[in-house]
Structure 1
Amino acid sequence: MIITTTPTIEGREILEYKGLVFGEVITGVNFIKDFGAGLRDIFGGRSEGYEEELIDARNEALAELKMRAERIGADAVVGAKMDYEVLGQAGSMLMVTISGTAVSLK
């Protein structure tokens, strides 16, 4: 399945707009990763633990979007937009959302 941020797919014709589809993931970051990130905040450097969480959450949101598009008979998703937010009392939850328009292609 093609998932793109563009409104069209080069070389392909959109036959039908199936509707909006979404993929959402909210994930918690565990204490060990929080502790490691806190040290990196003090001493500098990249937080590999948080980066891994972000990559995993993004991949899960994309997979959910794809599953929902397939469920309504789409071949692709155009106009995709991804957003990231931090939630929770201490900002320890990560929310990744992606949305787009499911379409059928010729």
Structure 2
Amino acid sequence: MIISTTSTLQGREIESYVGVVSGEAIMGANVVRDFLASVTDIIGGRSSAYESKLAEGREIALREMSEKARQLGANAVIGVDLDFETLREGMMMCIATGTAVIVK
């Protein structure tokens, strides 16, 4: 499965557009991670705990989106957009959306 943020694929011809596909991941952050992040905020630096959770959410959302495209018979997803949101205290969401297509 080819996944791209662009609307075209260089060297490939899009035969047909199958439809919009999306994948979602809602992740809960735990108390220990929140505490470590608050310490990092005070002393400065990057929060590897939250960075790894964001990466995990992104991978889950992309995998789910890709699987939905595959179920529709597509072999690529173009125009992919990733959106990260905070739902409430300790909960974050990642949504991946794109257009499922069939390419030669």
The TM-score, its normalising length taken from structure 1, stands at 0.95
Whole-angstrom distance in 1 between the partners of 2:72 and 2:19: 9
Provide the alpha-carbon RMSD of the alignment: 0.6
The TM-score, its normalising length taken from structure 2, stands at 0.97
Aligned length, in residue pairs: 104
Which 5+ residue runs of structure 2 have no aligned equivalent?
A: none
Structure-2 residue corresponding to 1:76? 76
Structure-1 residue corresponding to 2:93? 95
Matches within 5 A, 1:1-106: 1-88=1-88, 90=89, 92-106=90-104
How big is each residue's C-alpha offset from its partner over 1:58-99, in whole Å with a ceiling of 9 and x where there is no partner?
0000100110000000010011111110111x2x11100010
Q: What fraction of aligned residue pairs are identical, expressed as a percent?
A: 48
4+ residue runs over 3 A deviation: none
Which 5+ residue runs of structure 1 have no aligned equivalent?
A: none
Whole-angstrom distance in 1 between the partners of 2:43 and 2:10: 46
